[in-house]
Structure 1
């Protein structure tokens, strides 16, 4: 039986969405259901930079390099296109 994770967007008008766990955010977030914008969806443009609060895996080295450049002062910064959801999370725009 599949487990489900809830993605919420505090401070926005977007309602929480529920996905099966172990899904990539970029495959499920759209302009209609989230405040997250996407450009390349490969981790090189930085348009999907967000703060993720919740238990997720750490960034891979390539993503970490981008995060150090784009959001050095945000310890929970992630590129949404690189995040696989493994638990309930809150997403805030940076």
Structure 2
């Protein structure tokens, strides 16, 4: 079980999903299994802006630049399409 991670969506009706460690969220989340919406899936549109609670790698430069525009001063904000899952996480949509 150490190679599996739980992705939960508190505050929504979506059930927790189990992914392999180092899964890219954008490859596994759909409108049927999560509240996260995706547009470009490359980190330039901001459609998948979320708050993440849990251990994930820090954003790369391009994502960080988008986060500074879309979610100033929100240290939990991330673009779901850019997240590499390395542990259990909670994901909430930023409204």
User: TM-score band, normalised by the shorter chain?
Assistant: over 0.9
**Number of positions where the alignment pairs a residue of Structure 1 with one of Structure 2:** 94
Name the stretch that deviates more: 55-64 or 70-79. 70-79
| Stretches of 4+ aligned residues off by more than 3 angstroms | none
Structure 1: 5+ residue runs without aligned partners? none
Look up the match of 2:8. Answer: 8
Q: TM-score, normalised to structure 1's length?
A: 0.97
| TM superposition score normalised by structure 2 | 0.96
**Which residue is 1:92 aligned to?**
92
The corresponding residue for 2:58 is 58
Q: What is the CA distance between 1:74 and its match in structure 2?
A: 1.4
Q: What residue is the counterpart of 1:46 in the other structure? A: 46
Give the whole-Å Cα distance in 2 for the aligned partners of 1:2 and 1:86: 10
1:18 partnered with 2:37: no
Which digits, 9 at most, give the CA deviation of each residue in 1:50-74, with x for residues without a partner? 0010000000000000000000131
Q: Which runs of 5+ in 2 are unaligned?
A: none
Two-structure CA RMSD over aligned residues (Å): 1.1
